[in-house]
Amino acid sequence: MTTQTAPPPPERKDLETTKKMRAVMGNYFMELENGPKQGKKTAWCTSVGPAELLRALGYNVYFPENHGAMLGATRMACDVIPLANARGYSPDICSYLTSDIGSYLKGETPLKKMGMSGHPKADVLVFNTNQCRDVKDWFQFYAREWNVPCIGIHTPRSLGDLDDSIIEDVARQTEALVPALEQVAGRKLDPSRLREITVLSKRCTELWKAVLETAANVPAPISFFDGTIQMGPAVVLRGEPSAVEYYEVLLAELKQRVADGIAAVPGERLRVYWEGMPIWGKLRDLSTQFASLKTCVVASTYCHSWIFDDLDPDDPFRGMARAYCRLFICRSEDAKERYIEEMAAKYKLDGIIYHDAKTCPNNSNNRYQMPQRLEAKLGIPHLVINGDLNDLRLYSEEQARTNIEAFVEQLAQ
């Protein structure tokens, strides 16, 4: 008699497309570094600020939150945060802010590994408070430091339905930035250029969405941990052809993975959702732990936050307003719960993990009973992990490891 054993799951290989990432991101940083020598102006922009408008005016656009993530991922953050604390920025506020300002004060940054000499000096800083107030305070530090303008959009928070009056207000605020931006740029806004950039930005967003949605397949060909690496071009290069080219190649590779049954986590048996900020300095360890538990973190609010379905080349200001107000972080509890409910169905979730990031209350959604309400409604268990995006002194690795293990055991039962 012969016993039949199931064939082992196909071995997971790293995504081939990632090899192109270094060149794509490297070019981006080189352009930022060389911009001033070539007469190009630099605008700092919050992650969900009006990047399309800035690009249309010919600015090189720099996103300091990306630098914050680099400081977290390289674990440089903990060394530099105290410098910002000593200047009066509390250890309790956004650790992107404190690590970025600390890095500036210390003159140490992972940007140097990307060929840059340091923080690119801004000609103008442009914020959108759709995510938090911290971004404005963060930008105002540099505005004072360099004596340059800091302007922006004040988006209402906790939005339920996106009424026309709100969209109209945010669109008008965005348009009102144009004269000041034209003055710094030394050129007039060309509406046809804004249209072109918005077409590219929308295409980037559609591809990024398609990339993330391949994880709705079982097994998922890409995980949240891959997503935190792959999202680079969607964050810093939306509106540029290089981001579109990158995601076209990545999407093709992921479709092939789906066809071949290649999983991000070989032997995937459970699927969970990550709500909240990444713990940048511990992504590798967490990814390894989840893989060893044959559990794939298939989707996250964080990676999906760079999907902007509402961008509209034919009505760019209202399109930007709608896209940037629809952002999860500035929505009401009801709207957020509806969103996670849809994600649970689409990604066939077994569990939801909430990261309570101590220095980012704005992106920690476990504090007002949401996990309990959603668990009662969806019948999907949840776990809360206490930690932080960048400040690892606020994260207990031992406790998180034990809790994740117990949670996965609970899900498996």
Instruction: Please report how close the Cβ of residue 126 comes to ligand SF4 at its closest, in angstroms.
Output: 14
Which of 238, 227, 370 has the alpha carbon at shortest distance from 302? 227
- The separation between the first and the last C-alpha atoms of the chain, rounded to the nearest angstrom, is 32
Cβ proximity to ligand SF4: between 132 and 320 the closer is 132
Q: Half-sphere exposure of 334 toward its Cβ, with a 13 Å CA cutoff?
A: 4
Angle between helices 64-73 and 95-106 (to 10 degrees): 80
Token pair in block for residue 274 = 């990550």
Q: Which of 132, 200, 212, 392 binds ligand SF4 (CB under 6 A)?
A: 132
Interface pattern 253-272 for ligand SF4 (x via CB under 6 A) = --------------------
Length of the chain measured in residues: 413
Q: Which of 360, 370, 394, 400 binds ligand SF4 (CB under 6 A)?
A: 360
Determine if 94 is a binding residue for ligand SF4 (CB under 6 A). Answer: yes
- Residue 217 main-chain phi, psi, to 5 deg: -70, 155
Instruction: Please report how close the Cβ of residue 132 comes to ligand SF4 at its closest, in angstroms.
Output: 3
Instruction: Please report how close the Cβ of residue 236 comes to ligand SF4 at its closest, in angstroms.
Output: 15
Instruction: Please report how close the Cβ of residue 3 comes to ligand SF4 at its closest, in angstroms.
Output: 53
Which of 310, 344, 362 has the alpha carbon at shortest distance from 162? 310
Cβ proximity to ligand SF4: between 127 and 347 the closer is 127
Cβ burial, residue 149 (10 Å; 0-12/13-18/19+): middle
Residue numbers 270-289 binding ligand SF4 by CB under 6 A: 277
Interface pattern 197-226 for ligand SF4 (x via CB under 6 A) = ------------------------------
Determine if 71 is a binding residue for ligand SF4 (CB under 6 A). Answer: no
Residue numbers 374-413 binding ligand SF4 by CB under 6 A: 389
CB–CB of 134/359 below 8 Å? no
Question: Please, which residues have CB within 8 angstroms of residue 259's CB and are 6 or more apart in sequence?
Answer: none
Q: Which residue has the tokens 């060149």?
A: 23
Q: Which of 44, 63, 89, 96 binds ligand SF4 (CB under 6 A)?
A: 96
Q: Which of 134, 226, 312, 356 binds ligand SF4 (CB under 6 A)?
A: 134
Token pair in block for residue 218 = 């079982």
Eight-class DSSP state of 331: B
Cβ burial, residue 99 (10 Å; 0-12/13-18/19+): buried
Q: Which of 17, 228, 300, 362 binds ligand SF4 (CB under 6 A)?
A: 362
Give the residues across from 153 on adjacent strands.
128
Cβ proximity to ligand SF4: between 150 and 178 the closer is 150
Cβ proximity to ligand SF4: between 100 and 268 the closer is 100
Which of 39, 68, 89, 132 has the alpha carbon at shortest distance from 360? 132
Write the CA distances from 286 to 75, 233, 247, 289, 403, integer angstroms.
15, 23, 25, 5, 12
3-state secondary structure of 105: helix
Cβ proximity to ligand SF4: between 191 and 368 the closer is 368
Instruction: Please report how close the Cβ of residue 232 comes to ligand SF4 at its closest, in angstroms.
Output: 17
Which of 9-17, 80-88, 127-135, 200-208 is the region at the interface with ligand SF4 (rule: CB under 6 A)? 127-135
Integer Rg of the chain from CA: 21
CB–CB of 405/92 below 8 Å? no
Q: Which of 98, 363, 365, 366 binds ligand SF4 (CB under 6 A)?
A: 363
Cβ proximity to ligand SF4: between 94 and 411 the closer is 94
Amino acid at 156: P
Determine if 364 is a binding residue for ligand SF4 (CB under 6 A). Answer: no
Count the residues of the shown chain that bind ligand SF4, applying the rule CB under 6 A.
12
Interface pattern 28-67 for ligand SF4 (x via CB under 6 A) = -------------------------------------x--
Q: Residues interacting with ligand SF4, by CB under 6 A? A: 65, 94, 96, 131-132, 134-135, 277, 360, 362-363, 389
